[in-house]
Amino acid sequence: MKFKYVLENQWWQEIFILVFSFILFTLNDWILILSWKGFFSGLVYFFILYVHAQINRFFLLPVLLKEQKPMLYLLLTALLILIFSVILYETSTEILYKNCFLYKSSYQKTYPFQLSTLTGTLVCILGFYPDFRALSGTKKEDKQNAFVQ
C-alpha cells in the first residue's frame, strides 16, 4: 500500500491517527505493560481521551471553522474538558489505577492531571487533521488544475 493512498483515504487517515496517537501516548509505558489486563487498562484510558478529541472535532470544531465563533468554541471546549476530566478521574481512580502500570504517583489522582492530559491529547490528535486536509486538498487542487488545463 502506498503512502499517498493513506493520505487520500479518510479511513486510513483515521486509523493512522488512532494508532500513532496510541503509540505516542503509551510510548514511555511500554516496558511497564506486563499483562493483557495492563494493556487493556491503557487502552481504556486512551479510548476516553480519543473519544473526547473526536467529540470536539465533530461537534465543537465546526463552531470555530464554519461559524467563525472562536470564543464560543473555547468556552465549549473548556466545558467539555471539565466534563471529561471528571469522567477520566473517576474511571482512572476507581477502575484503572488499581494495580495498573498507569499509576505512578499520587499527582495522577488529581483533576489537574486529568485536565492537562485531556488538553494535551486533544491538541495532539486535532493537530493531525489540518495537515491531512492540506495534503489531500493539494492533491485535489492539482487534479482540478490539470483537468482545467
Domain coordinates of the chain in residue numbers?
37-137
Looking at residue 59, what is its pLDDT? 92
Q: What is the pTM of this model?
A: 0.74
Looking at residue 146, what is its pLDDT? 40
Contact 79, 95 (CB under 8 A): no
Contact 25, 49 (CB under 8 A): yes
Print pLDDT tens along the chain (149 aa): 566 666 677 788 788 888 888 887 776 666 667 778 777 888 888 899 999 999 998 899 888 888 888 899 999 999 999 999 999 988 888 877 776 656 667 777 788 888 988 998 888 888 876 655 555 555 554 444 443 34
The amino acid present at 99, given as its one-letter code, is N
Residue in this structure with the C-alpha cell 464554519, named with its chain if needed: 66
Taken in order 5, 11, 17, 20, the sign of the CA dihedral is negative
Report d(CA 34, CA 45) in Å as an integer.
Answer: 16
Dihedral class, residue 100 (left if φ above 0, else alpha if ψ from -120 to 50, else beta): beta
